Amino acid sequence: MCATDYAAIKLLVLDVDGVLTDGRIIITPDGAEIKAYDAQDGAGMRYWKRTGRHLAIISGRGSQAVLRRAEDLGVDMVRLEAKDKLPFYQEVLGELGLTPQQTAVMGDDLPDLPMMRSCAFPVAVANAVGEVKQSAAYVTRRNGGSGAVREVIELILKSTGAWDSVMARYLPQAEQRG
């Protein structure tokens, strides 16, 4: 583990194929794209947002399924068909008024490297390619599409004490007994 200042992280940037999904791309005969997302990743993304932090998705592909999932989860910024991801990443930072030192980026493949090398906390999913793992400050135990995003969200929120506010909703203080 690195010496990242987790409290400074205000934005989590996610790739889609291989990070939010297991990397498989299913295309129906009529050309529609189907993606499968992990429910725990989605819950984690909601918890992240509840703590006042931002989410962005930057993907090299375009997909209505991504837009729908992002809308359902309240993702702040979505950039699709980003073949060169770094300019899109810089644009997102500018629009949110954040710096690279306030950002974590999760990736799995080579197009994610420029963003990962420009952030405070670069993360590779367990099934990422070797070059991405080598550039990461943290490699998840879970594969992309199998709870890796939730793992990172919990790591950051627990390290900053923000997880307590998430848990308070589900485990409120025991009522006083008299």
Split at pLDDT 50, 70, 90, the class of 123 is very high
pLDDT at 178: 42
Percent of the chain with pLDDT over 70: 95
Q: Are 77 and 95 in contact (CB under 8 A)?
A: yes
Residue 86, judged by CB atoms within 10 A of its CB (0-12, 13-18, 19+), counts as middle
Using the 8-state DSSP alphabet, how is residue 14 labeled? E
Widest Cα–Cα separation across the chain: 66
Which of 65 and 140 is assigned the larger pLDDT? Answer: 140
Above 70 in pLDDT, residue 36?
yes
pLDDT at 19: 98
**Domains annotated on the chain, with CATH:** 15-166 (3.40.50.1000)
pLDDT at 3: 64
pLDDT at 32: 85
pLDDT at 155: 98
Section 44-68 average pLDDT: 95
Question: Whole-angstrom Cα distance, residue 124 to residue 134?
Answer: 9
pLDDT at 114: 98
| Alpha helix positions (H), 26-160 | 39-50, 64-73, 85-96, 113-116, 130-135, 148-160
pLDDT at 171: 86
